[in-house]
Amino acid sequence: SQKIEQNSEALNIQEGKTATLTCNYTNYSPAYLQWYRQDPGRGPVFLLLIRENEKEKRKERLKVTFDTTLKQSLFHITASQPADSATYLCALEGASGYSTLTFGKGTMLLVSP
């Protein structure tokens, strides 16, 4: 069955460092991969989308890579800030004709001052 795995342990880093979150998937051929941020008790907020034929995408301090051979995406936040503390969700979307997302469980990021 389709499976999406994200680091289950919270990631603790110091302010100013680069945070790297991992998303691995099996039994899936996504056309697109998306990353969302979710704060406690709130809905997910879209951050970045990367297509299967793209290797890397950047937006301000965020960078996403997508390796369809390894079936893995890495999400980087450079110069991290305490305000970046949240849960980050990886979501896969197939080319099914309608857009629905299959989410991982998310990784909690804690950035300490």
Partner 1 sequence: ETGVTQSPTHLIKTRGQQVTLRCSSQSGHNTVSWYQQALGQGPQFIFQYYREEENGRGNFPPRFSGLQFPNYSSELNVNALELDDSALYLCASSAPSGATDTQYFGPGTRLTVL
- CA separation for the pair 49, 42 (Å, rounded): 20
Judged by CB under 8 A, does residue 10 bind partner 1? no
Question: Which residues are bridge partners to 93 per DSSP?
Answer: 32
Q: Which of 43, 60, 83, 113 binds partner 1 (CB under 8 A)?
A: 43
**Residues 6+ away with beta carbon under 8 Å from 56:** 50, 63, 64, 65, 66
From residue 16, how far is each of 36, 64, 79, 84 by CA, in Å?
A: 21, 18, 4, 11
Judged by CB under 8 A, does residue 113 bind partner 1? no
**Nearest approach, Cβ of residue 17 and partner 1 (Å):** 25
Q: Which of 44, 64, 84, 109 binds partner 1 (CB under 8 A)?
A: 44
- CA separation for the pair 34, 13 (Å, rounded): 23
Judged by CB under 8 A, does residue 70 bind partner 1? no
Give 8 or 18: the residue with its C-beta nearer to partner 1. 8
Q: Which residues bind partner 1 (CB under 8 A)?
A: 4, 31-32, 34, 36, 41-46, 49, 51, 89, 91, 93, 96, 98-106
